[in-house]
Amino acid sequence: MELKQVFSGRAEITTYLESALHGLYTGEAQAPVLQGGRNAAVKQLKEFTARNYGRRNHTNAPVSRLSAYLRHGMLSITEVATHIRTHAQGRERDEFLKQLTWHEFFALVLEQEGTAVFANLEAPKYVTHWQKNLPDDILEGKTGLPCVDAWVAKLIQTGYLHNHERLWFAAYTVHFRKVDWRAGFTFFRQHLLDGDIASNALSWQWVASTFSHKPYFMNKDNIAQFSSHQWCGTCTAVCPFNKSYAVLEQELFGGQFGWSS
């Protein structure tokens, strides 16, 4: 006869898992913000219609929050695609299906390349010398840059970051702080609830230009625009991003990619 543990609430669940998983994690044990399980996944899928998903690059825009359920097998990519084809239309439908396509593409690359995705699939497209580990000020969210520190805090506390925040953080660590993308990949793997190997590793490589024809980076205007000035409006730090793309491209990559503004 199978015995099942009955819990009275999330606090009791956390206490149980803290003991059961002792030695398998670092930091303080806490229950995830997102509810797990197949029933919660189906409920989340049914409630998502992709309305306004065309604004997905804005950090305050509606997103599906389905990625963790896909990551842990609570949903299949086929049933998610079928739901969207049935309940969405136009740009919202097409944009969401495009994101699912990227998810599937990364999975196929992992299937083909295997453990090779843990190393540079291609040489970086610019001359760079990356340090191996993330500096402590990044790991602790004490860089002095309100946006970066907010991303770190959100990642650790919730296990989630908006896709644009992930790209900004990756570009900051790889290009502005000269850290090997694999250190960032590992940091995300430690905290992201949806941090599957394929999407995580290959997205970092895309930013780093080891799986792309050029590096990804951003400036202050980009962060401000897509975050509704969430951090930039009150920031008093010396901002490394507060330059034109052309100037940053020259400073970071030697001007070889031809950004003109």
Give a yes or no: residue 3 inside a domain: no
Q: Which residues contact 59 (CB under 8 A, 6 or more apart)?
A: 162, 164, 165, 226, 227, 228, 230
The two three-digit tokens of residue 241, written as one number: 């991003």
pLDDT at 159: 93
Number of domains in the chain: 2
pLDDT at 2: 47
Are residues 192 and 92 part of one domain? no
pLDDT at 4: 59
Are residues 216 and 143 part of one domain? yes
Are residues 93 and 194 part of one domain? no
Are residues 103 and 63 part of one domain? yes
End-to-end CA distance of the chain: give it in Å, rounded.
Answer: 69
Are residues 229 and 176 part of one domain? yes
CATH number at residue 78: 1.25.40.80
Q: Alpha helices of 3-145 — where are they, by DSSP H?
A: 10-20, 38-47, 67-71, 77-87, 90-113, 136-139
pLDDT at 198: 97
pLDDT at 189: 94
Q: Which residues contact 111 (CB under 8 A, 6 or more apart)?
A: none
Among candidates 52, 74, 75, which has minimal Cα distance to 62?
A: 52
Instruction: Residue 88: give the domain boundaries.
Output: 32-113
* CA separation for the pair 90, 151 (Å, rounded): 32
Q: Which of 78, 113, 148 is the last residue of a domain?
A: 113
CB atoms within 10 A of CB 170: 23
* CA separation for the pair 9, 32 (Å, rounded): 13
The two three-digit tokens of residue 84, written as one number: 């969207």
Are residues 220 and 147 part of one domain? yes
CB atoms within 10 A of CB 117: 21
Are residues 100 and 44 part of one domain? yes
Give a yes or no: residue 85 inside a domain: yes
Residue pLDDT tens, the chain, 261 long: 344 566 777 788 788 888 888 887 777 777 777 888 999 999 999 999 998 898 999 999 988 999 999 999 999 999 999 999 999 999 999 999 999 999 999 999 999 999 999 999 999 999 999 999 999 999 999 999 999 999 999 999 999 999 999 999 999 999 999 999 999 999 999 999 999 999 999 999 999 999 999 999 999 999 999 999 999 999 999 999 999 999 999 999 998 887 765
Are residues 230 and 195 part of one domain? yes
CATH number at residue 237: 1.10.579.10
Tokens 């006869």 — which residue? 1
* CA separation for the pair 233, 228 (Å, rounded): 9
Helices and strands: H and E segment counts in the chain: 12, 0
Half-sphere exposure of 250 (CA within 13 A, CB side): 6
Give a yes or no: residue 65 inside a domain: yes
Are residues 248 and 174 part of one domain? yes
Are residues 98 and 167 part of one domain? no
* CA separation for the pair 35, 10 (Å, rounded): 10
Backbone φ and ψ of 204, nearest 5°: -60, -40
pLDDT at 116: 97
Are residues 150 and 103 part of one domain? no
Give a yes or no: residue 122 inside a domain: no
Are residues 245 and 145 part of one domain? yes
